[in-house]
Chains A and B, each alone.
Chain A
Amino acid sequence: MAHKDLREFLAAIRQTGDLQEIDDPVDWDQELSGIGRLSCERNGPAFQFNNIKDYAGWRICANPVATWRRYAVALGLPADTSVRRLYEIYAEREQQSIPPVTVNSGACKEVMIPGDKVDLFDLPVPMVHEGDGGRYLGTWDLVVSKEAHGNWVNWGMYRFMVHNERLLTGYPRPTSHLGMMLLNGYVPEGRTMPIAIVIGADMPSHLASTATFRIGGSEAELAGGLGQQPVELIKCETSDLYVPASSEIVIEAEVFPDKIAQEGPYGEYPGYRSGEMGNALCARVTCITHRRDPILTLDTTGFMDSSACNTSISGAIAIKRRLENHGIEVADVYVPPESGIHMAIVSVRRGGAEVAQQAVQILTARRALISKVIVVDDDVDVFNMAAVIHAFSTKCHPVRGIHVTEYQGRANALTPAYSLQERVAREGASVSFDATWPPEWSKNETPIRATLDSMYSPDVQQKVLARWTALGL
């Protein structure tokens, strides 16, 4: 069972040696996020800053789950759980959704600031990277929104920047679930859309919000499944939205259908600041509630940030499901977090050009977040990058093995490879690298891999492995 709130989770990773606390004064203006960034790049610990310049009484936790170890603890598992096992457990729990329960009181209501008293500069919002468009409040967050007509409630992790005392600007992509709700429901009717930006909730709730999840699905139920217990939700003060009751900070706001302000640029999860600024939304804060001695959570977004591990798993599961729904027999899918969630490795029972081409078309049909797909045979362990590189380098034909699909209006505007014009127009392409043997090749002519498991008899393999073990290797 996972931990019920952020503070229990932090106690757990403190115990496993995966949390570093700093009591010396640290500047909110780049310094603390620089420490967090370096930690992401060195596979280091999460940080809790207890003494923030200009903001006595506030604390910031940087990168709660930016490593597989902390990801395992977030699911209530031992820190040394293998990546493959984490994938398996996530897939199991995703199927065991547990509905949330509502409560009438919760820690997130300990302090209440009504809209007319709100001053966002009273919060220790960090300047995450030098050259960002502003201070980002929503980095490791959970944004609640509800469709204009109907009951679908979406939780998503979207970035939000402070514009002035009461205004935030944000960049959920227009193709995101929140973006679709806004553009299809509220904008045509000229209505403001209520949202709640939740900061420092229990880890399963954040994992659910950053997960690749189906349209119409309930991330609150997914969070229950991932944490193996129902999430306790409490009603917002100024809307009928519900938020995790144990959250550290809740910022209630309304998104304008017809007003915008500057947002971005921002160093994003692919590991670059790509200049995607200029297509955002603007929201006015209507209320802030928070716990006493609150902890603001921060993702020092970039290479191997806090969302990388979770998007790796949830993205891979979503990819596998979509391919299987289209009749492709998939053995495994791995999305390396180091790829900035731009690459998927797919092992299939039966490969070939047709399958490789089909795979990339299926995966880019609605929105195209993945731009590289490597298709391998099912004798390649997708979690073993050495084996994947070997298969890709040797089996992918430089001409016949490459399948490109181009699209307009649904490309990932954060993909650094695209030109500025392509990013603005969301024009792009994805490529599938076919590293499988053509199914039409005769078995008698298909090359044999020169590895112990392929080019030696079972008797010899057994002897070799026994000898290896006896040598203590």
Chain B
Amino acid sequence: MTSEYETFVRDPAHILSGNEVVLSLRDLTPGRRKYRGSNVRAVVSRPPRPGEPALWIRSVVGVKDPRPCSVRIVEELPETFNAVAFSDFFDAMEKAERR
């Protein structure tokens, strides 16, 4: 059971809106699979809600926001997003979110 994730975002305010958003998460569970990626539809909370896995938000240059969040995963999404190679990844996530 994963207890801690991180995610990289271009617009932190968007994912903290309280609405369902699409995220690419990195699993921070220690061990050989640490940093495994997955795509999800989820709701992010700050301050963190009890019982939900912790989530750390990082900027596009990898700066970690020290304020903890939690994440409730609503749906596991496919491992990739449909978009032409070299497309903007954040745009592809937004499109997936609107579906």
Residues of A near any B CB (own CB < 8 A): 29, 54-55, 121-122, 127, 129-135, 162-165, 167, 174, 179, 182-183, 187, 255-263, 265, 273-275, 277-282, 420, 424
Contact = CB atoms under 8 A, between A and B. Distances in A.
B61 A274 contact: yes
A262 B62 contact: no
B80 A259 contact: yes
A265 B80 CA distance: 17
B36 interface: yes
Contact of B80 (A122, A129, A167): A167
The 4 closest A-B pairs by CB, nearest first: A131-B62, A275-B60, A259-B80, A275-B61
B35 to A, nearest CB: 5
A424 B91 CA distance: 12
Contacts of B62: 129-133, 265, 273, 275
A174 B87 CA distance: 10
B85 A282 contact: yes
A134 B82 CA distance: 21
A261 B81 contact: yes
Nearest to B62: A131
Contacts of B39: 261
A263 B89 contact: yes
B82 A259 contact: yes
Contacts of A263: 89
B33 A179 contact: no
A277 B35 contact: no
Contacts of B88: 278-279, 424
A261 B82 CA distance: 9
A260 B36 contact: no
Contact of A262 (B24, B33, B63, B82): B24
A103 to B, nearest CB: 33
Contact of A260 (B34, B59, B60, B81): B81
Given A163-B37, A275-B60, A261 B79 contact: yes
Interface string B66-99: 0000000000000111111111111010000000
A260 B89 contact: yes
B85 A277 contact: no
Nearest to B91: A278
A179 B84 CA distance: 12
Given A167-B37, A256-B80, A273-B61, 13 more contacts: A131-B61, A135-B35, A162-B37, A183-B85, A183-B86, A258-B85, A260-B80, A260-B81, A261-B79, A265-B60, A273-B62, A279-B89, A424-B88
